[in-house]
Homo-oligomer: A and B are copies of this chain.
Amino acid sequence: MATDCKNCPLRRRDLFVEFSAEELAFMRNFKAGELVIDAGTPLLMEGSNSPQLFTALHGMGLRYKTLPNGRRQVVNLIYPGDFIGLQAAVMGEMGHSVEATTRMTLCVFDRSEFWTFFKSSPSRAFDITWLAAIEEHFLGSSLATLGQRTALQAVAWALSRIFLRGQALEIVRNSSMPFPYRQQDLADALGLSLVHTNKTLGKLRDRQMASWSDGVLQINNMTKLCEVAQVSDEPLPRRPIM
């Protein structure tokens, strides 16, 4: 039933570096199965010590933290190809929760074998570190957004980052891509209120830069959007798949 790594639909996308034959064999052996979860299902909980690791194959989700007072911070979005559970794998405890936004299918790995990555496949171990470094880079940029950008700049920044990822994943058609989140999710990611996020999205729509409704994000003027966001629009670096 499960997809053979050899036929993994992700491998063909622009965003990802291709597997070597060696790596393919290694991962095939490492893969424990596949999991399908419905929209809204929690996958990992903050503080949990999951015995499993995942990589997203289809669907989208999000990572978030909850404060004692109930406020939620969305840490980032999960797209196909993302590796899930690194913190549990190395530290034994997740620093955030993970939840499916759409129905998702996930590739499942056994955490107990994680160490064999490092022992028997240095190149795969390096790839994991590479992913961790990219994530660190992204979180640093997010910090700069929450700390230093205005609401308009922040929303423009977020939409442009999302669209870049969409392009790399080749899910953009006619400058539109599926984007199945709620405005509340974006608000919680940017530290803004829902109301203000809504009004800010309206501004970007009025200015003919980007419009997002009914789960579809359309970018009309990427150049202007990135200009407002004070960010470059160069494509994302290729990343390994785990």
Chain A residues proximal to chain B, CB less than 8 Å: 63, 65, 67-69, 71-73, 75, 86-87, 89-91, 95-96, 115, 118-119, 122-123, 125-126, 128-130, 132-137, 139-144, 146-149, 188-191, 230, 237
Contacts and interface: CB of A to CB of B under 8 A. Distances in A.
Contacts of A91: 130, 133-134, 137, 237
Given A91-B130, A125-B129, 9 more contacts: A67-B230, A69-B230, A89-B133, A90-B126, A95-B136, A129-B129, A136-B139, A139-B140, A148-B191
Contacts of A115: 126
Mostly, the A contact residues are helix
Which 7 pairs of residues, A with B, have the shortest CB-CB distance? A147-B191, A132-B132, A139-B139, A95-B137, A73-B144, A146-B146, A118-B122
A146 B145 CA distance: 10
A146 B118 CA distance: 35
A96 B148 CA distance: 15
Contact of A140 (B65, B90, B125, B137): B65
A77 to B, nearest CB: 13
Contacts of A89: 133
14 contacts: A63-B140, A65-B141, A68-B230, A73-B140, A73-B147, A86-B133, A90-B126, A90-B129, A118-B123, A128-B129, A132-B133, A136-B139, A139-B139, A142-B143
Contact of A90 (B67, B118, B130, B141): B130
